[in-house]
Amino acid sequence: MTSFGTIIGPVESTRNYKACIVAALAGLDLATTPAFQMGVDNKTPEYLAKYPAGKVPVFEGADGFSLTDSSAIAYYTALKAGSESTLLGQTAEETAEILQYILFAEGDYTPVMAGVLYPLLGYLKFFKPAHQQFEEQFFRFLDVLNTQLINRTFLVGERITVADVVVACDLIMAYKLYLTSEDRKKYRNLTRYFKTIIAQPAFKAVVGDVVLCEKRIELAAPAKKEKAEKKPAAEKKPAAEKPKKAEKPAEDDDEEVEVAAPKPKSKLDLLPKPNMVLDDWKRFYSNNETKPTAMNWLWEHFDAEGYSFWKVEYKYNDELTKLFMTNNLISGFFNRLERARKYAFGNLLTLGKDDDNMIWGYFIVRGLEVPEEVTDAADYESYNWTAADHTDPKTRAEIEDCFAWEGPSLPRECYDGKTYK
Ligand SMILES: N[C@@H](CCC(=O)N[C@@H](CS)C(=O)NCC(=O)O)C(=O)O
């Protein structure tokens, strides 16, 4: 499938998710930019010349058409699905209602949600009275949605639409960081609805599992105050005179939560130097026929003390439906494996047919255990990772066929696959 365009921006962002989910629902191929660097790639002179606001995401069509604003991109993606699609409703009234919910989510709910969460995340200055006002409005908006959803599965009509995708994506941060089990009981209909939407295979394929909040995030103690306390009282200056780090405006949402945490140094960098350099293998694999050339190289150079092989199988094959959605699920998993890029290589294949398929494959990882760079990925738990003995002829044949995406040892016919490299 050729992609009709590319959504440019950090892959793991609630704004990026919207169009990707719509594309997955519509069976359209929308390319993404997994290597995108927030604050760097959207601030280059070329980017700013095209998109002066310097915001993400933006869309660039294969035909040269470009667009900004996540919900507009999601809407356009749904239009690309054609007139048969119900993603934009089935009547003029439904389409208008979809627009109503998108505007509510973007224009009313999101700024208020940001007013509640961003000060707690350190993106904005915290003012208690303002925060209280935002919180009141925030809960009022949740109430509105909760009431509208009393008797509804979806916001508009009887099927999932772009309104559900946009609203559910905009709710992710609140459900991850703020709405405790008490709140979830209070907003029962909204929570039932949110859980329904995030359980859709297209949603899961793009977003992975959304882990619901256990404890609300709280205001972090301002770094400045701690510093001041260490100084003798006479040296203290009035609070207003010092610039605060936390005053820096937000550049991002979800992804900044992760960026803010200090990056752990990988234990894998402390292992003895291996005899095979993984990047050499990746390069050789990309530039040569897999069977026999690349595989012969691998068997000749593989360092069994520095690396291990793992068979990777999806645990919930019986829930898989359309082949393209299964393949999207693999893409989503690989996007969330970003931290492991330096330490792993693998192929996961979509095998079988529509409504009867499976995900199966093999990985090479640095070290003799599955490293935390892999186990940290949100959907790691959805896969069984079994140590594989590459000296066993049967396993070796499976690895070869897996990396070549064809061959007699594949458990089923190969529809498509993804290479993690
Ligand atoms: N309404 C826009 C908002 C886009 C937006 O604010 N994006 C943030 C990241 S979540 C951004 O690009 N911030 C960088 C900046 O403002 O320089 C959309 O939904 O796409």
The residue segments making up the domain with residue 33 are 5-80
Q: Which two three-digit tokens encode residue 338?
A: 């970003």
Q: Among the three residues 80, 104, 120, which one is the final residue of a domain in this structure?
A: 80
Ligand 1 site, residue 15, Cβ cutoff 6 A: yes
d(C-alpha 412, C-alpha 244), whole Å: 59
Task: Report the first-to-last Cα separation within the chain, whole angstroms.
Answer: 21
- Residue 208's φ and ψ, nearest 5 degrees, are 80, -160
Q: Which residue has the tokens 């440019």?
A: 8
* pLDDT, position 244: 36
CATH number of domain containing 352? 3.30.70.1010
Task: With respect to residue 187, please indicate whether it lies within any of the assigned structural domains.
Answer: no
Q: 76, 17, 68, 72: which is closest to 47 by C-alpha? A: 68
Total domain count for the chain? 2
Task: With respect to residue 401, please indicate whether it lies within any of the assigned structural domains.
Answer: yes
Which residue's CA lies nearest to atom 20 of ligand 1? 69
The number of beta carbons lying within 10 Å of the beta carbon of residue 377 is: 21
Q: Which two three-digit tokens encode residue 82?
A: 């054609």
Task: With respect to residue 340, please indicate whether it lies within any of the assigned structural domains.
Answer: yes
Centre of ligand 1 from the C-alpha of residue 203, in Å: 21
Site to substitute for ligand 1 among 36, 51, 56, 169, most atoms within 8 A of C-beta: 56
- From the alpha carbon of 255, which atom of ligand 1 is closest? 10
* pLDDT, position 220: 67
Ligand 1 site, residue 135, Cβ cutoff 6 A: no
* Each residue's pLDDT expressed in tens, for the chain with a length of 421 residues: 689 999 999 999 999 999 999 999 999 999 999 999 999 999 999 999 999 999 999 999 999 999 999 999 999 999 999 999 999 999 999 999 999 999 999 999 999 999 999 999 888 888 999 999 999 999 999 999 999 999 999 999 999 999 999 999 999 999 999 999 999 999 999 999 999 999 999 999 999 999 999 999 988 665 444 444 444 433 333 333 333 333 333 334 443 333 344 445 788 988 999 999 999 999 999 999 999 999 999 999 999 999 999 999 999 999 888 888 888 889 888 888 888 999 999 999 999 999 999 999 999 999 999 999 999 887 788 899 999 999 999 999 999 999 999 999 999 999 999 999 9
Task: With respect to residue 122, please indicate whether it lies within any of the assigned structural domains.
Answer: no
Ligand 1 site, residue 251, Cβ cutoff 6 A: yes
Q: Among the three residues 80, 113, 131, which one is the final residue of a domain in this structure?
A: 80
d(C-alpha 282, C-alpha 167), whole Å: 40
Q: Among the three residues 57, 80, 103, which one is the final residue of a domain in this structure?
A: 80
* pLDDT, position 245: 36
Burial class (CB in 10 A: 0-12, 13-18, 19+), 173: buried
Ligand 1 site, residue 69, Cβ cutoff 6 A: yes
Site to substitute for ligand 1 among 13, 15, 36, most atoms within 8 A of C-beta: 15
Ligand 1 site, residue 54, Cβ cutoff 6 A: yes
Task: With respect to residue 228, please indicate whether it lies within any of the assigned structural domains.
Answer: no
- Residue 14's φ and ψ, nearest 5 degrees, are -60, -30
CATH number of domain containing 73? 3.40.30.10
Task: With respect to residue 21, please indicate whether it lies within any of the assigned structural domains.
Answer: yes
Task: With respect to residue 330, please indicate whether it lies within any of the assigned structural domains.
Answer: yes
Ligand 1 site, residue 410, Cβ cutoff 6 A: no
Task: With respect to residue 10, please indicate whether it lies within any of the assigned structural domains.
Answer: yes
Centre of ligand 1 from the C-alpha of residue 296, in Å: 47
Q: 20, 167, 198, 22: which is closest to 102 by C-alpha? A: 167
What does each C-alpha distance from 15 to 54, 171, 191, 192, 296 come to in angstroms?
Answer: 15, 11, 20, 22, 44
